[in-house]
A and B are shown apart, each in its own frame.
Chain A
């Protein structure tokens, strides 16, 4: 392919030269990435980005994305790679500001697909009010990766008064989830060709910093926030219980799970509690503020389905315990190396 020609964004493919730092790399940058992620810091094309910072404390988070298939109902790897990191920053109570993005592309990956992914990232950034200010692209030989892998790092600012941390849950606190669980993981799994399922499920992938801001505005003390991505609600709450040295008692009946998610989970033998969400959060707050917090969440479009699902309890063993509607309970443990497909 001649280096002087424009990229063929309709029929062209990623070739190995595009990651070599030469003219082909330059062309990919000028014709694909820069127009999509248009912003001053990026246009300067320095080795790094120089950006202004508002007052407060800095929050940094990073997330790698390898989802398969890269296009799934309700989203794609591009939007997901923005939401994933924006949400990690937001879970610290921070306002996300800037992202970096690094792409690992597989030789032969269609440029039309890459453009779709990049446009979706740009749209997600626009919605979240963040800019991609620096980035990198590498190309590996065919078979060396699966289409495209994207790693994003996010920077945000958190106010001095916010003290959200995984070790702050206390007995008596309440646990809230912001909406129905498992929709991202179930939508991606159902999409797999080999399963041949047809569902109307769509991923819940969305940015949550606006919801977090609304929660902070309620004035209720937020002790812990976590987005239950890989490993789902069960893994996220186990991590919080361990970090805080407490147990968590979940009320099975009050956990919102949609009908289709339950259906897909039944078919595949999965427990929805372990299925990933990409647009939900878990919050732990003191009992006396929980109704006010819930009200604020439900008033926000991204928290309409919020529900109280459990309570923090004293437990030397720091376990997550699920209580059945008919009495009886069971432990919901951390996963032990179960082979889960790539869903984020």
Chain B
């Protein structure tokens, strides 16, 4: 299949693996793939095992479900329970347990109106079709999903809808990457694989401060085996040469400036929150979007007077260290024992893009439990 097979070509993958092996000097390389989609791809294509031992992939915080605080889920559940709204969101969000052990799934099972949509525009359509119901889109994600939410807000305003709002939880990539880089020695990362889809929107130049301020090389990668290996190879070359630059290894989708139309739309409908509490990374300044004042009528937090709910992570869970690249999933004391995809304690185990869920799914050998 065009645009797929050529990036999964066996000979090309083998040749790239060979070049990576040759590039390895007598040292270890700790490379963080920021994006959960990359984590998943590295496992899915068996690349973690195929890479030379000297290259250690450290998983980053780029999984929207994982970094969303449990309290925000509780807030969404309360909307369904107590405000009688039709809540629309992406499928990934349905299973995630909030701070009280409930999920949107359980809210739906007990009679709440929770609908899975593929696009926020579907939620706008729903609001048009059901003028007597309040429809809320529970918006999550980095700059990849934010433009779609922006489009929905803009469309809802153009239609003059009075029954559509957005519960906005969009977060930003660069502040999160800075937070990781600020950890310095703790994470001891030598280079970063930058997120492909996010960068298609914000442009590779957005990561320049990571290279200049922290002396960390960043290679933007796509999601196919050859994309990831090419990015790893250019990182090794930079590290070996003591350089730190932004390198675009995903040129078929990413430009230096990004999608300026999407950026303009986001600037119009969103404003920066002063502070947002990330799961695992804690409070980060100017790291998330809220609905802009000009669109205040479409902000669920204002329309329904939503109170901020906070909830501490499970004590035994080491999500924060996993999300910061300071711990591999298998080294967390509750990994695959108390915390499994069926009964997740921490967010990294919930989403398919979470580092723990990926490690559990693809490399965990369960101990013999049956007789």
Contact = CB atoms under 8 A, between A and B. Distances in A.
Contact of B366 (A262, A317, A337): A317
A328 B14 contact: no
B361 interface: yes
Q: Which of B43, B46, B366, B368 neighbours the largest number of chain A CB atoms within 10 Å of its CB?
A: B46
Contacts of A194: 117-118, 122
Interface string A228-258: 0000000000000000000000000100000
B363 A330 contact: yes
Given A316-B368, A326-B14, A263 B361 contact: no
A55 interface: no
Interface residues of A, number: 27
Nearest to B40: A269
A333 B43 CA distance: 13
Interface string A252-278: 010000010011001001010000000
Interface stretch (B47-55, B232-240, B260-268, B299-307): B47-55
A336 B341 contact: yes
Contacts of B341: 336-337
B4 interface: yes
A124 to B, nearest CB: 32
B365 A328 contact: no
Contacts of B342: 336-337
Interface in B18-68: 43-50
Nearest to B223: A266
B49 A253 contact: no
Given A195-B118, A337-B342, A328 B50 contact: yes
B368 to A, nearest CB: 7
Given A328-B47, A329-B46, A253 B363 contact: no
B96 to A, nearest CB: 12
A324 B45 contact: yes
Contact of B10 (A253, A331, A338): A253
Contact of B49 (A269, A317, A330, A337): A330
Interface string A183-204: 0000000000011000000000
A239 to B, nearest CB: 14
A22 interface: no
Interface in B332-365: 340-342, 352, 361-365
Contacts of B45: 324, 328
Nearest to B91: A339
A301 interface: no
B44 A330 contact: yes
Interface in B283-342: 340-342
A328 B17 CA distance: 11
B13 interface: yes
A324 B46 contact: yes
A259 B1 CA distance: 6
B366 A339 contact: no
B272 interface: no
B94 interface: yes
Given A330-B49, A336-B341, 10 more contacts: A194-B117, A194-B118, A262-B4, A317-B366, A324-B45, A326-B225, A328-B46, A328-B48, A328-B50, A330-B44
11 contacts: A195-B118, A262-B4, A317-B368, A322-B46, A327-B17, A329-B46, A329-B49, A333-B361, A336-B340, A339-B91, A339-B105
Interface of B: 1, 4, 10, 13-14, 17, 43-50, 91, 94-95, 105, 116-118, 122, 225, 340-342, 352, 361-366, 368
